Structure 1
C-alpha cells in the first residue's frame, strides 16, 4: 500500500467478526504473529485488539447477529462520519448501522454500497486506526469485488473522493495518485449467490511459505500463490471459519 497514514478516505482499520474468537486468535497468532489483548471494559463485550509487537493492526469481535457471517470488515477514515453517512445515501448506498459512538474510541457507521458490498467509515477518537500499514503482518491492500464496476467507481468517488486508475485488467483506487486498493469485476467468475464484498490483503515476507502455513493451520487456499503482471506475488485464503483474506509481498515504497 502506498498510503501509510490514516488520511481521510484511506483504509484505516480492519476488524474480524468471528463465530469463534478464541480459535481466530490462535490462527492469526500462528500465521502473522499477532498478539491479542481483550479490552477489559465490560461495555466492550470482549472486544479484542490485535497487535504486531506493540503496534495495533486489527480488531476481533464475536458475531452480533445469528445470521451474521464470519468475515473481515474494512473501515475507511472519515473526519466526519455523519457527513459521510449522508453522502452514502445521497450516492445511492444504504446504512446498515447509522452513525454511533464507540466507547470514546471513535465514531462509526456501517454502510452498503449500491452493488451490495459492506464497508465502514471510522472517525478516529482515541483509536486512530492501524499503527502500521504495508509491513509483514499488517494490512497492505484492500480490494472490492463487485458486479457493477462503473457504479462502484461513481459511488466511491462521490463518497470519499478517490482517484481511479483503470488498466487493461484491473482498476485501482487511491488518493492524490497514491493507490491503496483495487476493484475486481465479479462478472461470471463467481456463483450468483456470492454477494459483492470488500477483502483485506495482509503483507507478508514470503507468500508461498505463508500460504503453506495457513493451509496447515486449517485455512483453504482459494487462489494459490500467483505472480500478478506489474504487481506483487499474492494468494487468497479463507480461514478455518470462512473469512476471506489475501496475502501479498509488501510493496516497496517509492
Structure 2
C-alpha cells in the first residue's frame, strides 16, 4: 500500500506532461473527479505559455501535477517521483547503475530538490528530496494514486538497477496461464504489507506506447472500474486491456488518455485505506 509518510524509495509525487493542458484537466476531472487548480505564472511574459500547468485536487487534497509538454519529440506520459534523502547521492547511484540523468538535481525553492532519470533501457522516472513539501496529500483512496507499475523488457536487470538506486526489495508472484512472474516492490527495510508497486517483463513489441522502451505508469483507485472506463471512452480515451478481474487484486483496466498517456484504473478487492 502507498502511504503519505513517504519513506525513502516510496512514490511521493506524480505529474503529467500534456500537449493540451485544459483538455487534460477536463479529461481527468471527468474520469477521476479531480479539480484543476492552475498555477500563477507571476504576470505576462514570453515564457508564460511554457509554464502552463497546475495541480489536481481531490476533496481539496493535492493528488497530482499537470504541466505543458514542451520537450521536443517526447510523448505525453505520467512521471512518477520517488522520495529520496539526497538527490545528489541518488544521481550518483543512477549513473553507477548505468542509468542516464535527464534533469540534474535542482532546487525548487523551499519546497524541495528534484531530478529526472532514465533507467539503462530508457524507462523514465524521477526523484524528490523533500523540503517543505513532502509530496501528494491523498493516496489509496478513490481518485488517487494506489500503485506504481513498470513494464520492461528485462525484469532481472530492472530489479538490480532500481534495487541499487532505491534499496527496494522484491517478491515474485506467478502470473496466471504461465505468463511469467510479476515482481512486487517494497521500500527498503519495510515489511511486504507496505509493497507499493510492481514490475513485469514484456517483449518490446508489446511496449508500443514507448517504441519498445520500458515505461512506468500510475494506478489510480476508483470506486467502479467499469463506470470509470465508460467515461474514459466517452472523453476520447482508449483501452489497452480490460476491464477484467485479477484474483486478489480487484477489477482493473489499462487506459490511454486522448494524448497518449497511459494509466491504470483499479477497483480493489477490498476498499483502500487512507495512508
User: TM-score, with normalisation over the residues of structure 1?
Assistant: 0.94
Distance 1:191 1:141 in 2: 20
Select between 242-251 and 142-151 the one with higher mean Cα deviation: 242-251
Tell whether 2:79 aligns with 1:73.
yes
Aligned partner of 1:158 among 130, 155, 164: 164
Is structure 2 residue 201 aligned with structure 1 residue 185?
Answer: yes
How many residues are matched?
Answer: 254
Q: Structure 1 residue 229 and structure 2 residue 228: aligned? A: no
- Of 181, 184, 195 in structure 2, the residue corresponding to residue 172 of structure 1 is 184
Match of 2:107 among 101, 106, 131: 101
- Quote the residue 2:214 is aligned against: 196
> For 1:49, what is the secondary structure of its paired residue?
strand
Write the distance in 2 (CA, Å) between the matches of 1:206 and 1:102: 37
Deviation, 1:26, is: 0.6
Q: Deviations over 1:3-42 (max 9, x none)?
A: 4431110001110000000100111111111111122143
Quickly say closer, same or farther: Cα 1:15–1:191, change in 2 above 3 A: closer
Alpha-carbon separation, structure 2, partners of 1:37 and 1:23? 14
Within a 5 Å distance, the mapping from 1:25-174 to structure 2 comes to 25-42=25-42, 45-169=51-175, 170-174=182-186
**Larger mean Cα displacement after TM superposition, 48-57 or 190-199:** 190-199
Alignment of 1:240 with 2:258, yes or no, is: yes
Distance 1:72 1:124 in 2: 20
Gaps of 5+ in 2: 176-181
The structure 1 segments of at least 4 consecutive aligned residues displaced by more than 6 Å after TM superposition are: none
Q: CA-atom RMSD, angstroms?
A: 1.8
Q: Would the alpha carbon gap of residues 2 and 139 (structure 1) be closer, same or farther in structure 2, given more than 3 Å must change? A: closer
Between the aligned partners of 1:22 and 1:113, the Cα distance in structure 2 is 31
Structure 1 unaligned regions, length at least 5: none
CA distance in 1, matches of 2:95, 2:204: 28
Task: State the TM-score, normalizing by the size of structure 2.
Answer: 0.87
